[in-house]
Amino acid sequence: MKGPKQVGPFWAIAAFVHFLCVHPADAAERGNYGGTLRIAFTGPEAQAEPSLADAPADAALFQTSFQGLCRLQSADKLQPVLATEMEQTGARTWRISLVEGARIRSAGGLTARHVAQSWARLSQQGTLSPYRALLYPLRGEGRQLEGAILSSSMIELSTAFAWPDLPASLCHPALAIAVPIAGGGAVGLGPFTATSRGDVLEENLSFPLGRPYLDRLKIVFANGRRALRLLSLAQVDLVLGEAEKTNLIRSPLELYATYLAFKAERTGADFRGDFEGAVDRAQLTQFFAPTASVPMFNLLPPALMPQSATTATRASAASKRRAAPPLTLLYDQALPEQRLVAERIQVRLHDLGYRIVLKPVSRSELRKRWALGQFDLMLHAVLMPPLPAPALALAIELAGKHELLASELPRIGAEAEAAVRELKVRERALALAAQLPLIPLYAQSAVLSASPRWYLPFDGQGLPRFDDAYAVGE
Amino acid sequence: MRLRTQLALAFACLAIVPLALVLPWALSNLRRTLTQGFDARVASAMIAARSVLEQVSKASTVGAEELADSPVLEDFAREVHAGHATPSTTTLGERLMKSRGLSVLSLLDSQGVTLSSGHLPARLGDRDPALFATTEQPSGREPLPVMVEVRGDAGPLQLPALVAARAVDYGETRIWVVAGILLDDRLADQLSRLTGAEVTIAGAGSALAHAGAADAPNTEKTIDFQPIARLTFAFSRAPQVSAEGGILRAFVLITGLGLLLAIVAGWVVARHLTRPLEALTTATRQLAAGSLGVSVREESSGEVGDLVASFNRMSAELKSVTERLISSERTAAWQEVARRLAHEIKNPLTPIQMSLETLAAARIAGSPEFDRLFNEGVKAMLEEVERLRRIVDEFSRFARLPKPRLAPVDPAELVRQVLALHPARPAGVRLKTEISNGMTVQADRDLLTQVLMNLLKNADEAIGGEGEIAVRVRRHSDGVAVEIQDSGPGVPAEHRARVFEPYFTTKADGSGLGLAIASRICQEHGGRLELDATAGGGALFRLVLPAPPEP
């Protein structure tokens, strides 16, 4: 693998800690091939859109069938998956060679056009995604990738400004290759392949990295309590998305960041100060946010920058707000914890005179309303890349300030040293925090409960890697 | 008013009066019965509502006690004591609340901070002074009414609830279980369906929950949960009012139908009863108008039937008698006429016979006076023959009186014409006329002229050349009257009834047929000739002719 520069010690420590958090079995031990891993999944039905499958449990399951050009094996180590090579051919140019002969079920061989079309969806009307910020450094903001195709298996990407973190950005799960098919849905290429039985994923023998250890994954869709009950009854081997204290397995990377986006012209100029005075993030994560969540005070989660708690401010007069029209708080109906968080925000702000109506919507609807700016308040969660610079780009995009990327990213990308770049990012994150209509709430990692007989590693994105999972014996 | 109408109205009154007397009493009784029924229903419903609220109260107490004694709370208390707080406590309250059928559940620490809440999980970690205040009440007391913050569409809202508090102790850690039932729309709906009333739960001056509907007018009952809430039950009296109205309408309808039937029945019965009487009335009028032999053919029984039969018999007899009388009168009249005629003819025959016998005797005797006797005798006989001829002519004229040829005649003009034709009167005779114009009669002009001439001649003869004759033409109740009045001696009372008989006369040389012919002519015209006495002693002859019918 060529190209990416070395990352700082932080990432090395993170990688070490990461390996400690995998199954108690010896990580170096390789288990037997074969077997069926029965997974109880607490999320909604499987997504077909990579940019929507970004909640940790969703992303973990999505990756089994949809992979991108690369993945982060650890925070500082890129592993090509559908690309064989990502070569930096110039100061701002990378040439990417795709795996030869890789076939996508129902879509033929993998081509550069598939890659271009897949990434272009992030910037298209109707599928506009905050993850387009990951492609912003590319010329044309990643909207004109057809011109970057050199051949059916080769793409040459050029950035508009220096952006050393581009290769790592391309490994984000939201940039997984998904080819739309007739009748709706999409197909991709991953270590497992969907079968005619919707709940079974079979091993993909032609996966570029080799077949997985497991023969198949059997998915059971269940709510949290039922999933845990199935685990206790040994009817499933793993619960993805829910965990009890006794057998909690979590990634150390809390990269799934939840924010409260707001429209200042609707909420009023005092909203941020009122919120900070009313809502205690520690309490939020202790009682209302999901397991394995940590308070987030700054634009980037604690995994990417040290946190500085904001001071509570004095609330403005409640009387004039009572006469104002109520505000609508949109949240993801597929995430049960967001209902609790939304209610907590509602009641705390109610004490200050805000009238807030809660409205659960689907994730795609949430993204649509975000893209159109049609909301008063919104709980919006994204899976941050494990690198500060792309994460800041994503946060700025999430705040709806796309125009700021043009001024912020070049300044950051101009710093060649990763550590310096990281400091720059923190400085800008602190400076931009008050400008952006985005209030950070908490960050969470992937959580799961598993039977002891299974080994399951995590990748550099903090997501479990099922293609490397195996049974460790009786 | 006709008898039939009277009978029909009498029938109707007979039918209406009882109904009219019964209706107010019945309505009053009905109203009282319905009101009693309504009041009983309301009382029963309120008993049921209070029973439900007692169950709610008991559920709160039992719920709190059962939870306080449950292993779940013991485990929870242990975790709190150990300082463990997990996100699962966020949903613990909601799960416990739903499993116990409660709608309020808060687990509070000894400072009143919410450890878990079923009705508003988002308040975890916040103090709840309202619910914590209930923990200050001694255990065993009835549940307390308290305003509770619950989930609302646009944020938390306050609803009243009945809550009970119980303590759970784990070492030095005390946890309060505050459980209860909301007085919300669901309870209001339950109470509304149970009582059939419109239930409103109000607190702080505003309606917090509402269920059901009660059309006005309605009766309200309340149950207070001071100072938090008041439950108002509105029971509709509309069905009762509707029932009263319906029954009143039915009564009115029945009364109307009854009245109508009574009128119809009365009319039918009255018609059945009065038809023979009406037929009798008609027949009587016909009989009075001269239709002899009219009979009533209506079938009837009883007294009316007897009356009808009697009338028919009477009519038949009257006809028979009248015919006999007419025949007798006609025979008598002809006998009288024959007698008079014989008398009149006999009078001239006697002198004729005497003259002939004298001549015969003189001839036999060879009297030298024979020539003188012959001339005297012939003269006398010729005068008597002339007299006979006059009698025969007048009789013939009376017997062959022509039918009048009727035509419109102006009586005023006719009278003036007759007066103009009348020979000039002596100076001592004053003629006074009062003639009204503008009348017309159907008459034979020549015959009427004859009558008027006869009456004027009689008047002249009555006053004897000295006196006054008044001629009047005026309207009469029976048509038109022409009056000729003289100031003469008048007609003696004993003769007034006979003046119009043929051959009756008080004059020495009268034929006795003039007034009879005049009377006959008037009768032929449909009128009559009358004789009245006057205050001054003279005679007043009145010719009454009928006016022509209206076009």
Q: What CATH code is carried by the domain that includes residue A190?
A: 3.40.190.10
Give bridge partners of residue B442 from the DSSP assignment: B408
Omega cis (within 30) before B217: yes
CB B441 within 8 A of CB B407: no
Give bridge partners of residue B469 from the DSSP assignment: B431, B486
A201 and A342 in a single domain? The answer is: no
SS3 A143: coil
Give bridge partners of residue A261 from the DSSP assignment: A378, A438
Instruction: Write down the pLDDT at residue A24.
Output: 41
Which residues in chain A are contacts of B153 at CB distance < 8 A?
Answer: 357
Which residues, at least 6 apart from A255, have a Cβ–Cβ distance to it below 8 Å? Answer: A301, A303, A304, A383, A384, A385, A386, A443, A445, A461, A462
At A374, which amino acid appears?
Q
SS3 A2: coil
Within a domain: residue A102? yes
CA–CA gap between residue B502 and residue B338 (Å, rounded): 11
Instruction: Write down the pLDDT at residue A318.
Output: 63
SS3 A188: strand
* DSSP string covering B83-146: T---THHHHHHHHHHHHTT-SEEEEE-TTSBEEEESS-GGGTTSB-HHHHHHTTSPTTSPPEEE
Nearest CB neighbour to B155, from listed A245, A291, A355:
A355
pLDDT at B410 over 90: yes
Given the structure tokens 């209206």, which residue do they identify? B550
End-to-end Cα, chain B, rounded Å: 30
CA–CA gap between residue B356 and residue B384 (Å, rounded): 12
Question: Is residue A112 packed enough to be buried (19+ CB in 10 Å), middle (13-18) or exposed (0-12)?
Answer: buried
A34 and A146 in a single domain? The answer is: yes
Q: Nearest C-alpha of chain B: how many angstroms from A91?
A: 49
- The answer to whether the Cβ–Cβ distance between A347 and B120 falls below 8 Å is yes
State whether the Cα torsion A348-A354-A359-A362 is positive or negative: negative
CA A414 to chain centre: 26
- The answer to whether the Cβ–Cβ distance between A340 and B121 falls below 8 Å is yes
* DSSP string covering B8-61: HHHHHHHHHHHHHHHHHHHHHHHHHHHHHHHHHHHHHHHHHHHHHHHHHHHHHH
pTM score:
0.67
How many pairs of residues across A and B have Cβ atoms under 8 Å apart? 55
Q: Which stretches of chain A sit within 8 Å of chain B by CB?
A: 245, 280, 283, 286-291, 326, 337, 340, 343-344, 346-350, 354-357
User: Which candidate in B75, B76, B80, B86 is best for mutational testing of the A interface (most A CBs within 10 A)?
Assistant: B86
CB A460 within 8 A of CB A15: yes
- The answer to whether the Cβ–Cβ distance between B125 and A287 falls below 8 Å is yes
CB B500 within 8 A of CB B519: yes
- The answer to whether the Cβ–Cβ distance between B156 and A350 falls below 8 Å is yes
Reading the block at residue A452, the tokens are 């002891």
pLDDT at B10 over 70: yes
- What would the pLDDT profile of B147-199 be if each residue is shown by its tens digit? 999 998 788 989 999 999 999 998 888 999 999 999 999 999 999 999 999 99
Nearest-by-CA chain B residue for A354 = B155
A183 and A312 in a single domain? The answer is: no
State whether the Cα torsion A157-A76-A211-A204 is positive or negative: negative
Nearest CB neighbour to A356, from listed B85, B120, B155:
B155
* DSSP string covering A328-363: EEEEETT-HHHHHHHHHHHHHHHTTT--EEEEEE-H
Which residues in chain B are contacts of A354 at CB distance < 8 A?
Answer: 155
CB A112 within 8 A of CB A98: yes
Question: Is residue B308 packed enough to be buried (19+ CB in 10 Å), middle (13-18) or exposed (0-12)?
Answer: buried
A337 and A225 in a single domain? The answer is: no
Within a domain: residue A408? yes
Instruction: Write down the pLDDT at residue A155.
Output: 92
Reading the block at residue A46, the tokens are 């499987």
Nearest CB neighbour to A350, from listed B85, B90, B155:
B155
Reading the block at residue B322, the tokens are 């009248």
At A117, which amino acid appears?
Q
Q: Which residues of chain A have pLDDT under 70?
A: 1-31, 45-47, 75, 245-246, 310-323, 473-474
- What would the pLDDT profile of B98-136 be if each residue is shown by its tens digit? 999 999 999 999 999 999 999 999 999 899 999 999 998
Q: Nearest C-alpha of chain B: how many angstroms from A186?
A: 36
pLDDT at B380 over 80: yes
CA A352 to chain centre: 33
Average pLDDT over residues B77-94: 76
Which residues in chain B are contacts of A286 at CB distance < 8 A?
Answer: 85, 87, 125
SS3 A454: strand
A407 and A313 in a single domain? The answer is: yes
Residue whose C-alpha is closest to residue A288's, from B81, B124, B154, B117: B124
Q: Nearest C-alpha of chain B: how many angstroms from A344?
A: 4
Give bridge partners of residue B539 from the DSSP assignment: B533
Which residues in chain A are contacts of B123 at CB distance < 8 A?
Answer: 347
Quote the DSSP letter at residue B248: H
CA–CA gap between residue B286 and residue A127 (Å, rounded): 114
Q: Is B324 left (phi over 0), alpha (psi -120 to 50) or beta?
A: alpha
Residue B274, CA distances (Å) to A457, B4, B280, B283, B369 in order: 121, 6, 9, 14, 90
pLDDT at B405 over 70: yes
Give percent helix, percent strand, percent coil of chain A, each to the nearest 5: 30, 25, 45
Which residues in chain B are contacts of A376 at CB distance < 8 A?
Answer: none
CA–CA gap between residue B109 and residue B217 (Å, rounded): 50
Which residues, at least 6 apart from B507, have a Cβ–Cβ distance to it below 8 Å? Answer: B461
Within a domain: residue A1? no
pLDDT at B88 over 80: no
Within a domain: residue A3? no
Instruction: Write down the pLDDT at residue A109.
Output: 86
Average pLDDT over residues B29-52: 92
Instruction: Write down the pLDDT at residue A17.
Output: 43
pLDDT at B20 over 90: no
A97 and A205 in a single domain? The answer is: yes
Highest mean pLDDT among B11-20, B47-56, B272-281: B47-56
Nearest-by-CA chain A residue for B87 = A287
- What would the pLDDT profile of B241-288 be if each residue is shown by its tens digit? 888 888 888 888 887 888 888 888 888 888 888 888 888 888 888 888
Pairing between β-strand A470-471 and β-strand A256-262 as defined by DSSP bridges: unpaired
More confident residue, B1 or A272: A272
A435 and A454 in a single domain? The answer is: no
At B490, which amino acid appears?
G
- The answer to whether the Cβ–Cβ distance between A288 and B89 falls below 8 Å is no
Within a domain: residue A2? no
Compute chain A's Rg from CA coordinates: 22
Nearest-by-CA chain A residue for B88 = A287
Instruction: Write down the pLDDT at residue A373.
Output: 94
- The answer to whether the Cβ–Cβ distance between A286 and B123 falls below 8 Å is no
Reading the block at residue A33, the tokens are 């091939």
- The answer to whether the Cβ–Cβ distance between A354 and B86 falls below 8 Å is no
A22 and A166 in a single domain? The answer is: yes
CB B276 within 8 A of CB B304: yes
A217 and A276 in a single domain? The answer is: no
Q: What percent of chain B has pLDDT over 70?
A: 97
CA–CA gap between residue A280 and residue B126 (Å, rounded): 11
CATH number at residue A436: 3.10.105.10
CA–CA gap between residue A431 and residue A220 (Å, rounded): 45
Which domain covers residue A32, as residue numbers? 9-248+446-471
CB A447 within 8 A of CB A241: yes
A264 and A408 in a single domain? The answer is: yes
CA–CA gap between residue A297 and residue A276 (Å, rounded): 10
More confident residue, A440 or B336: A440
Q: Is B422 left (phi over 0), alpha (psi -120 to 50) or beta?
A: beta
User: Which candidate in A245, A291, A347 is best for mutational testing of the B interface (most B CBs within 10 A)?
Assistant: A347
Nearest-by-CA chain B residue for A329 = B154
Instruction: Write down the pLDDT at residue A42.
Output: 86
CA–CA gap between residue A7 and residue A18 (Å, rounded): 16
Pairing between β-strand A216-221 and β-strand A36-41 as defined by DSSP bridges: parallel
Give bridge partners of residue A104 from the DSSP assignment: A108
pLDDT at B81 over 50: yes
Nearest CB neighbour to B90, from listed A245, A288, A356:
A288
Residue B302, CA distances (Å) to A303, B6, B110, B235, B269 in order: 126, 21, 109, 65, 15
Instruction: Write down the pLDDT at residue A448.
Output: 86
End-to-end Cα, chain A, rounded Å: 37
Nearest-by-CA chain B residue for A287 = B87
Angle at A333 between CA A330 and CA A338, to 5 degrees: 70
**Per-residue confidence band for B423, with pLDDT thresholds at 50, 70 and 90:** low
CA–CA gap between residue A328 and residue A356 (Å, rounded): 6
Total structural domains in chain A? 2
Nearest-by-CA chain B residue for A291 = B87
A380 and A241 in a single domain? The answer is: no
How confident is the prediction for chain B on average, in pLDDT? 87
CA–CA gap between residue A285 and residue A444 (Å, rounded): 9
pLDDT at B84 over 80: no
CB A440 within 8 A of CB A285: no
CB A116 within 8 A of CB A373: no
Within a domain: residue A281? yes
Nearest-by-CA chain B residue for A278 = B126
CA–CA gap between residue B373 and residue B358 (Å, rounded): 8
CA–CA gap between residue B60 and residue B144 (Å, rounded): 10
Q: Nearest C-alpha of chain A: how many angstroms from B62?
A: 28
A91 and A216 in a single domain? The answer is: yes
Within a domain: residue A4? no
CB A393 within 8 A of CB A405: yes
